[in-house]
Amino acid sequence: MLGCLALAGWAVLTGGAFDGPIARQVRTHSVYADAGTGLDAAAAERVIGNRRLVVVLLREGADLRAACGDVRGAADGTLVLVMSRETEGFDTYGCSRLAGHDDEHFGDAFVAETTIGDGIDPFADKPLDAVKVIAVNYDRLAKAGIVPAGARTISPSLPRYLIAAAAILAVLIGSAGLFLGARRAGRLAAGRRERREAATDARTVLSAAMAAVAQRIIDADGRAKHHRRVAADYVKLMEEIAAADRRGEDDYSRFTERAERLAGRLRTPA
């Protein structure tokens, strides 16, 4: 059950359940643009194609570095350029999310981050043309072997959500099964307890009846022949009761009836 919960947590987190608007967009798209920036995001995506490139265009004065941090995880495997308009041109912040960007490929990542936005300032009023320049810059970096030339692979969130839902459902079903099993076990235990209590009561009644017969046999002291026959039947009944006890029987009603008949025979000669 803990494994299912862990799987559900992984699926929810990696599926972007807690993503902000930028991360949610770039997880499955190559372009994010704030409202009012004038960029046609769909057209910009067609320009970028399947390059491992993400462009984020924010409103003027936005915190570009924070936006770069926001897409961590969502844009893994890509080179991200976050930018916003300023008085003359664009303010840019490149952040590589390509494999090895913070260790063995740190140098390549630094070059890519600092050059991916080259030459876009003249197109501040034409952001789509700026994206075209960025795409050309990416191809130049790919040709130099600084960034990968392969296509970006986007992992849809839906399968992850389905995994999460399945894992949570498994936990719920398992919990329900445990609850129902415990409830059934409780009912069975209660039933056994009631049967034991009933058997104990029946055994008590039988013991009282047998004690009454024994007392009458003692009082009769063998004065009549039929009293001796009753005593013999009493001994036989005791043996049968002992055998029933060994078998674990809990229905003593037939023995009680026979004991009462024995007591009656002691009152009335057979």
Quote the pLDDT of residue 24: 86
- In the chain, the domains with their CATH numbers are 7-155 (3.10.310), 160-267 (no CATH)
* Per-residue pLDDT reduced to its tens digit, 215-254: 777 776 656 566 677 778 777 878 888 887 788 777 777 8
Decide if 12 contacts 70 (C-beta within 8 A): no
Supply the DSSP string of 175-201, one letter for each residue.
HHHHHHHHHHHHHHHHHHHHHHHHHHH
Average pLDDT of the segment spanning 94-119: 86
Decide if 92 contacts 2 (C-beta within 8 A): no
Tell me how far apart the alpha carbons of residues 129 and 89 are, in angstroms, rounded to a whole number: 13
Closest CA to 213 of 259, 252, 166: 259
* H or E segment to which residue 84 belongs: strand 79-85
Which position has the higher pLDDT, 206 or 79?
A: 79
Quote the pLDDT of residue 154: 63
Q: Decide: pTM greater than 0.85.
A: no
Closest CA to 97 of 134, 115, 71, 116: 71
Q: What is the mean pLDDT of the chain?
A: 78
Average pLDDT of the segment spanning 149-166: 61
Based on the number of CB atoms within 10 Å of its own CB, is 94 exposed (0-12), middle (13-18) or buried (19 or more)?
A: buried
